[in-house]
Amino acid sequence: MSIDPKDRIILPLDVADIGKAKELVELLSPYVGLFKTGLEFVWSLIADLILLEWEDAVKLLLDARNLAKEIGGPQAFIDAKLCDIPNTVKGASLAISRLGVKFFNVHACAGIETVRAAVASRGNCQVLGVTVLTSISGGTEGECVSIFGSPAGEKVLYFATQLLGAGADGIICSPQELEIIRGCPKLNGLIAVTPGVRPVWAAKGDQKRVMTPAEAVRAGADYLVIGRPITQPPPEIGGPVDAAKKIAEEIATALSEKTA
């Protein structure tokens, strides 16, 4: 895929305050490709809109509309993690598709018919399937076995095959499963989005199955979800812009090595 290195970076707006989200977008829009709005942001916004006094709620709504315009559809990823019966996911997908975002996602474990419902209702958006969360340990003795009955590698491969059959555009998985996915030729057309990416200079946080940006790109990732290493970098790295630039440089180096 011909994508500029910086545009492969997806920054999560994992904040409860729309003012903070706006600051991050204004600061980092030139240095990252997409902004991901997830459950914390969305539900904090909904709660505030319902509970605030009328004038404050109107102001918040206007701020939310302005932020949406500032990000724009091509730079937006709605991390909805839809997981419900097909008809419910169909309705939610139709609503999301009206926003014209680049990506939204659905849990693969909801079943192939639910994924098909999302795909059929995606409009001009692209549907990504969440496989096994990167906060779940994935080995033979790990949490993934207790939840899904298989280690992460086996389960991600199964989910990816199901997602392909349902017409999804891509998958979300740990970078540690990319080798398995990219080793299966029929799955190579799927976009690979990987959370659990941490530069060597950043803390792992609550991620269990991680790689560096360079390792993830070499393994076959198309997009990298990177939050705290950018928004809260170590002092020796500098500020968020410095961190984003450093990560983009690492991605560029890895891409050049792949094509050399």
pLDDT for res 205: 60
State the CATH number of the domain containing residue 89: 3.20.20.70
Q: Determine what percent of the chain is predicted with pLDDT higher than 70.
A: 95
User: CB neighbours of 130 closer than 8 A, spacing ≥ 6?
Assistant: 81, 105, 106, 107, 108, 172
pTM attached to this predicted model: 0.93
Return the H-helix or E-strand segment holding 178. helix 178-182
pLDDT for res 171: 98
Q: Is the pLDDT of residue 23 over 90?
A: yes
Domain with 130 in it: 5-259
Average pLDDT over residues 33-42: 96
The torsion of the CA quartet 16, 22, 24, 26, rounded to 10 degrees, works out to: 180
Per residue in 168-221, pLDDT (tens digit) is 999 999 988 999 999 999 999 999 999 989 999 986 665 556 799 999 999 999
User: CB neighbours of 163 closer than 8 A, spacing ≥ 6?
Assistant: 108, 115, 129, 131, 170, 171, 190
pLDDT for res 164: 98
Per residue in 92-151, pLDDT (tens digit) is 999 999 999 999 999 999 999 999 999 999 999 999 999 999 888 866 667 899 899 898
Alpha-carbon span 176 to 161, nearest angstrom: 17
pLDDT for res 72: 82
pLDDT for res 207: 55
Select which of 20, 81, 102, 208 is catalytic. Answer: 81
When divided into structural domains, the chain yields a total of 1
Q: Is the pLDDT of residue 157 over 70?
A: yes
Q: Is the pLDDT of residue 166 over 70?
A: yes
Examine the residue annotation and report whether 208 is marked as an active-site residue of this protein: no
Average pLDDT over residues 39-50: 96
pLDDT for res 25: 96
pLDDT for res 136: 87
User: CB neighbours of 259 closer than 8 A, spacing ≥ 6?
Assistant: none
pLDDT for res 142: 77
